[in-house]
Amino acid sequence: MPESAKAVLVVGDQRVELPILVGTHGERAIDISRLRELSGLVTYDPSLANTAITQSAITYIDGDQGILRYRGIPIEQFTEKPNFIEVAYLLIFGHLPNKTELSQFSEALTENELLHEGLTQQFYHIPLDAPPMAILSAMLSQLACYHQEFLKVEDPESFLAVAARLISKVRTIAAFSYRRSQGLPFIYPDPHLRYCANFLHMMFSLPYKQYIVTPEIEDALNLVFILHADHEQNCSTMTVRTVGSAKANLFASCAAGVSALWGPLHGGANVEVIQMLERIYQGGMSAEECIAAAKDKSNPFRLYGFGHRIYKNYDPRAKILKQACERVFANLQHKDPLLDIARKLEELALADPYFIERKLYPNVDFYSGILLRAMGIPTNMFTVCFAIGRLPGWIAQWKEQHDNPESRIIRPRQLYIGLVEEKYVPLAERQTSQRIF
C-alpha cells in the first residue's frame, strides 16, 4: 500500500506526524495505529463510522457514485448470466475460476451437500415456530462438532474443503429449517441440480412430486445471492472478522456473522420491508402515513429498505433488483401488488426533502423480498437467503485476514466515563440502592 505525505496532528505543544495511506482509487486514510504510542492519545469514533479497520482487496464501494465491484468487476457485469458459484470462487480465491477450477469447486460443493445424520436429527428437537436465523446460526456453529479436522486450516486444500462444506451445507440447513417449520419431510439434495435449483428443490419438492425450476427463477435466485455476496466491512462481516481475529474457526466465525445479520438494521431489514408493504396493502396505513412516520423523530419507525451508511446515492444492488422484479413478473402469470406499493413509496420518499437532504435511497433490501416472494420463498426465510448469499463474502474476508501475517486480534479501546474508584460494600451493609449502569 503506497504512502503519501504525512498528516500532522497538533495537540497543545505536541506535534505528531502520522502516515497517510492511499487506496487504489486515491482515497486516503490517516494511519493512527501508532498514535497512542507516540502521543498517549486514542481516537474516538463511535460505531466506527469514520474508521477503516483493515486494508482489503475484495470489494470496492463508491457510495457517492453508487458503484460496487467484486475483485474489481462491476456487479452489473454479473447480471447477464448470473452464476453464484463463480462469484463465490472469485471473492474467496481472488480470480475468476477457469473451467477446471470451476468444475472442481462445483464437485466439492456437490460432494458436501449432505448433512451428517446426527445434525439432521437435531432439527426434530427444534420448535416448529423457531426463527430460521436462530436455527441457521446454531447449525453452522454445530458443523464444527462434525468437522473437527477443520478447526484449524493451515493449507490451501483444507481451506477449499472447508469453504466448500460451508457454502454447500448452508443451503441444506436453510432448506431443512423451512421443511421442519412446515412439518414436511426433508428432501435431500439432488447431485444433478445446480446450486440454486438444488436449494429450491430441497425447499419445495414433495416426495411424490419434483419441483421444476424455470430458468427465469433460477437466474433470479442466482442474482439475489450474487448481489448479497459481499459488501466490504458491514456489521456481519466485521463480526466475522472480529471473531476470526481471535483465531476462532470459520464455522464459529460465520455463525456469529449470521447472528449479526439477523438484526433489522442489517439483513433483517428485508423482512421489515415486506411487513411494511403488507401493512400498507392491508390498509393498516397509507404510503403517505408510512413516509410521515419514518420522518417523525418521536417514532422509532424507519422506512426499511432505505438509507445506508456508505451509499449516499442509489444502491446499485437495489437498481438491479428492481429491474429483475419487473423482468420476473413480466414472465409470471400473477402480479404482486406489493411491487406497486414499493414503487409508490420510493417515488414519495425520493421527492421528499427529508430523504433528499439526508441522501436516503433504496438499499438492497427494498426490492429483494418482492423478488424472493415471486420464487415462493416465505418471508421468514428472506434473511436466511441473504445469509446464503453473504457466506462467500464472510469466508473471503476471514481468509484475507487469516492469510495476512500482520493481522492482530481486534480489540478496540474505549473512553471510560464511569466512577473513579468505589469501595465494595458487603450485602448486609447495603442500605440504599446502588447505582446501576
| Cα-based torsion angle of the residue sequence 159, 163, 165, 168 in order, rounded to the nearest 10 degrees | -160
- For 1-7, which contacts have Cβ atoms below 8 Å and span 24 or more sequence positions? 1/55, 4/28
225 in contact with ligand CMC (CB under 6 A): no
269 in contact with ligand CMC (CB under 6 A): yes
309 in contact with ligand CMC (CB under 6 A): yes
- Binder of ligand CMC out of 132, 244, 305, 392 (CB under 6 A): 305
Q: Which residues pair with 7 in a beta bridge?
A: 18
- For 240-247, which contacts have Cβ atoms below 8 Å and span 24 or more sequence positions? 240/394, 240/397, 240/398, 241/53, 241/54, 241/397, 241/398, 241/401, 241/410, 242/410, 244/398, 244/401, 244/402, 245/401, 245/407, 245/408, 245/409, 245/410, 246/409, 246/410
- Binder of ligand CMC out of 84, 93, 304, 394 (CB under 6 A): 304
Angle at 348 between CA 379 and CA 288, to 5 degrees: 75
Element (H or E) spanning 79, and its range? none
Q: Give the residue numbers marked as catalytic.
A: 308, 365
Residue 192, CA atoms < 13 Å, CB-side half-sphere? 2
- Binder of ligand CMC out of 89, 199, 251, 306 (CB under 6 A): 306
CB of residue 126 to ligand CMC, shortest distance in Å: 26
CB of residue 311 to ligand CMC, shortest distance in Å: 8
Nearer Cβ to ligand CMC (58/303): 303
Stretch that binds ligand CMC, among 194-202, 208-216, 358-366, 377-385 (CB under 6 A): 358-366
Nearer Cβ to ligand CMC (200/349): 349
Alpha-carbon distance 344 to 65, whole Å?
24
CB of residue 308 to ligand CMC, shortest distance in Å: 5
- Binder of ligand CMC out of 165, 201, 308, 390 (CB under 6 A): 308
363 in contact with ligand CMC (CB under 6 A): yes
319 in contact with ligand CMC (CB under 6 A): no
The residue nearest ligand CMC at its CB is: 307
302 in contact with ligand CMC (CB under 6 A): yes
221 in contact with ligand CMC (CB under 6 A): no
Return the amino acid letter for 407: S
Angle at 152 between CA 150 and CA 158, to 5 degrees: 55
CB of residue 234 to ligand CMC, shortest distance in Å: 5
Contact residues for ligand CMC, defined by CB under 6 A? 231, 234, 265-267, 269, 294, 302-309, 358, 360, 363-365
